[in-house]
Structure 1
Amino acid sequence: MKSLKKALIILSLLSLVLPSWGQKKSGEWKRWLREVSPIMSEVERSIFNELPTEEDRRRFVDFFWKARDPKPETPQNEYKIEYYQRVAYAEKRLGGIDSDRGRIYALLGEPMEKHSYSGYEKVVDCELWIYHTEDRVNLPPFMYLIFFRRNNTGDYRLYYPGVNSAVDLLSPGYKESLNARTLSMSSYNMLRQSFPQLAEASLSVIPGEKSSPLSPGTGSSGIIIANIFSLPDREVEKTYLKNFSSLTGNVEVTLTTKSIDGYGFISLTQNQGITFLNYAILPEVIHTKKNAANKNEAEISLMLIIEDFSGNIIYQKERNFTLEVDDNRKKLFIDSRRLAFKDFAPIIEGDFRIRITFLNKTSEEVFVHEQKIKVNPQGPFLLFGHKLVELQSEKFIPFRQEKYKILPEPRLIFTQQDTLRGILKSSQQPVLRLVNVDDENDLIPLTNVNKDPTGLFLFTLPLSQVKPDYYFFSVRIGNQEVYRTVITITAAEVQKTIDLESSDPQEARYNYFFILAQEYLNAGLLAKSITYFEKLPPQLRNEVSLPLMAKAYYLKKDYARVLEILESPRVPKTYSTLALLANSCLQLNQLEKAVIYLEQLRQYGDSVTINQTLAATFLSLGNQEKAKIYYERAKKLRETSKEKKEKPSWKRKTPSKLL
């Protein structure tokens, strides 16, 4: 077997010596790549960067614009013309297409409404853009997007509900006048009194979506913003790339400003019948700043995204907190010992790509760990680290397997003074061993493997007699190797990490049912989603869970159940719930009721689709006069819409669904 260490060195050297035209790009191509960066997919950019000749690059550009031409039969490319108008506006008025405002403007165009909150005493300079995004892939019909200047310094940034909060929109002077212990709620209440629309937008990008000021946007906001930036990957047909199929491989492109190094570790466990994804993130550095109390402070955001291999987001979790330590603890925990952040989330079965992002908002530094996993509820489930603890409490914590907890080592570095300890949940006796990465015949079996009364396999291996080197930690069950990863064993002293972890009480079990229901819904597994929704106790059947339950039944085509759920007075009549109600009524041929909900939908903004649907519905009811009014309104909206330049209008002749 070739040496893994030598292979890594060779790869590093190759990256230094192999020529690439991308390192010698002419000013023309650098300029073009920047101009189209908001609308260029990662695949397109990767292929373009590998093109060997000028002729190939010019041919690529021609195909690039043809793929986006809404009317190929006309001599002009309407999309290209409008896009460069957007770019010119962004460069002149919005700080360029590299800025948050400029990039959104290039992707989505002019917002339907724009509100400026500059010059106010209580809030920082910010803008609220309201978009009508009908017919855009995976975007809601209406959206709120906030741009703000943190502490009134620097450029305008895109506001992420959940990562940001109403606190970020307050001016520094006014913020200091509020009680620090109730800052989040006080900030939101101030916004609601002075700027109610801005306050609503601070909670979610979806108008009317219910969310808590203490934990805003934990549902769909992050997913929707991610969908905005992934529009180039979703909206453009890329079959033209087959014309460049002689190129092999794919170049990964990562666009970050202040990226830092770090370590990530992921493991699956099962506790009380629920499968959990556990993760530990260890950034190489955590920069802090002094606050008013002379403490060292950093605003931290820990984000988890679970997506399938088609790019569909199955679950997203955001955890935000302020890290505050004095000088002694900073030296002990952060500078010397380093701090590891641990969290967990329930997860459904399937093959997923996991992305964990550590964001230090104080220093604007980010570390991202990505990993592919396969989740099988039948196991096996493996945990290993340098310490095993038998727990007395029933609370849910990271890296817990039934009554045991493992303290993992995110760096996978162990010293000869350590004992490798672990837990394995398996229906069969495992074979565990260390295999030297340079010599497959250099094996160290783990013989101290015992089965406890609950059926878990507990194992230990003192490392004092294991020579320092790189090893594969291998687990075999039957004839199959189910796990293999590289660990390091060293004679040097390695300080253990200090863990900052989350936990949930035993009662959180029902909250996990809600999360699993959402994950199954996002994965399109409707029957399993409904099963978990129906497990929710009465106290969790609320304004947040009921609309999602109704969506699952709607996709299952149980329209009567949708009406039963959403007509409850507990459910707020937002755009999404009204659309589900209207569509369900249309499917059940309850046309009079459908008209009521359609009219209520219009309060969120007039659209061609709503008016066409109203016209068709009134026509079916025999009210031709009303039908004519709505058809004329739809026609007028279509004629004034900028989308007319990009795509032909489309008429609906019978009542149909809105979403």
Structure 2
Amino acid sequence: MKKFLFFVFVCFLSSIIFSDLGKYEGWEKTWVQHFLTKKEQKEFKKLKTEKEAEDFVLLFWAKRDPTPGTPRNEFKERCEMLVKIADKDYSTEKMKGSLTDRGKVLLLLGPPFARKEVAYSDSEGNLKGEGVNMTESQSAFMYGKMDVWQYRKEQLSRLPFELPWQELVVEFKKEEGQKDFYLNRNLANVLKAISLAQEGWIKSPDLKEVPEWAKTMGVSPFILLSEKILKGEEPLKKDTALTTYGIFYDSNNQTYGSNIIVFDENSPIKDQKEVNIFLQILDKDNNEVLKIEDKVAPQQTIRGFYLDRSFLISEGNYKLLQIVGKDDSSVLYSNLIDINVPNFRNWE
């Protein structure tokens, strides 16, 4: 028996010593835990190297991509947006909002149609009235607050999986003395909805290996394009704009640059409410000094349209790589120009 226990201990110790997941260490404990199936949780625990973990993560996202084969993963974008909301609205002193029960439901089911906070006054959670302002007789029996979320049919029908209810009500309790709301797990349909959502977000369950289109997931297609341009592997598309120039100015002892690209009135940019603009600034040794990727709305002028994106920079001579593209990663304009940023503080 002692030998057996020693063997088990050695195996356990070996799994700790010889597992090096690098930057993916603890990944399964972040908000992605809400989407991991039990099978995936077991598989992740068996991983030994950073490369294995990277492939697992890429496959995780690829399986849930609603538009496989395209540069974007709308599922990932949706989650990242909701994580920001959850972290802002539901965080406590000890836990990020995206890791709380409310963060979990927000990520799995989306924002509710309506929500209200009520007070309850018995251990069964029976509601005594809306709001938290209780009478003296009510407050004598009050146990805490309840955050009630309501999902309607039209919302549930927009989810990429089917739930067998016309309406869903989710309750989160916060008893007196507690710092956060926790899910009322006495509602069987809510637990069922969470389980269905975890499986329902998977669009390609049969994927066993990371497909080629998923290997660059999380890396901007414009970053990949910039690398090709700088290596001379991709031609510039600079003839689609009338002109481009930089304006530099000093404010509060800081130098600002404003990158301006002008397009004619027939440019396809006129049909875009917003475009992606990618700017990369390199020094004389081709070392990256600054990189910006942002969405910019085209502004109309007499000659056509222009884009303007400002940035902070020190004086010196640089190369500026400009890429303008649409959400589908198609490129509207690209150019590589030299810029000279003056030293305003030496001017008299």
Normalised by the length of structure 1, the TM-score is 0.25
- Greater relative contact order: 1 or 2 (C-alpha under 8 angstroms, separation 6 or more)? 2
